[in-house]
Chain A
């Protein structure tokens, strides 16, 4: 079955780069039927969409983060990654990776989430 799993450091210092990887199993990230997305959720708040990557290579980012974020794919490892640069305490959140079906645009599979804390 389809599974997504986030991995990466749980603690990042201010002004440094937050780097996370999502390992996908059960489906190829090269499939044209899906977008691959990152979403974050600060404690006690609603989710915030970060951005998405389509298998064609196109990307879309939240304008609020666009200047600091990149999402990329590693097709050989069936993984996709998030880099968020120049982080501050406001970037502390649980980060989720997810799959979006191009058929209905719902996030039908989510990773379990990983807490990233920005602190010195």
Chain B
């Protein structure tokens, strides 16, 4: 099973600041890494697919990078509505797995 380790677990950030979240895979997954945003009491929503590909309707301040085992989600110029928990998810091999999440709080 591929284990995804996210860091940090929690981040408190002021609006307009840049946020960087990392996800490390326990083995090479190529670019089969996707990012989701989950707001309280809501279902997750996909933000980025295949490490760096944008999703229609997702604000351009969200971007992703990386390949192999190390991946990054960047939120440029954080907005209040971005308060949420962010998860990485791999579709390289079964069982599909998710990271433990990074909670982003707005100061």
Contact = CB atoms under 8 A, between A and B. Distances in A.
A108 B44 CA distance: 9
B91 A110 contact: no
Contact of A113 (B36, B43, B96): B43
Interface of chain B: mostly helix, strand, loop or mixed? loop
B95 interface: yes
Contacts of B45: 110
A110 B95 contact: no
Interface stretch (A11-19, A23-31, A79-87, A99-107): A99-107
Given A46-B98, A46-B100, A60-B94, A107 B46 contact: yes
A95 to B, nearest CB: 11
Chain B, interface residues (CB within 8 Å), range: 20 to 34
Contacts of B46: 106-108
Interface of chain A: mostly helix, strand, loop or mixed? loop
Chain A, interface residues (CB within 8 Å), range: 10 to 19
A62 B36 CA distance: 20
B95 A47 contact: no
B96 to A, nearest CB: 4
A96 interface: yes
A45 to B, nearest CB: 7
Nearest to B95: A62
Given A96-B43, A107-B46, A47 B32 contact: no
Contacts of B43: 96, 110-113
A64 interface: yes
B44 A45 contact: no
8 contacts: A46-B100, A49-B96, A60-B94, A62-B94, A105-B34, A106-B34, A110-B45, A112-B43
Interface of B: 1, 32, 34, 36, 43-46, 49-50, 53, 55, 87, 89, 91, 94-101
Interface of A: 45-49, 60, 62-64, 96, 104-108, 110-113
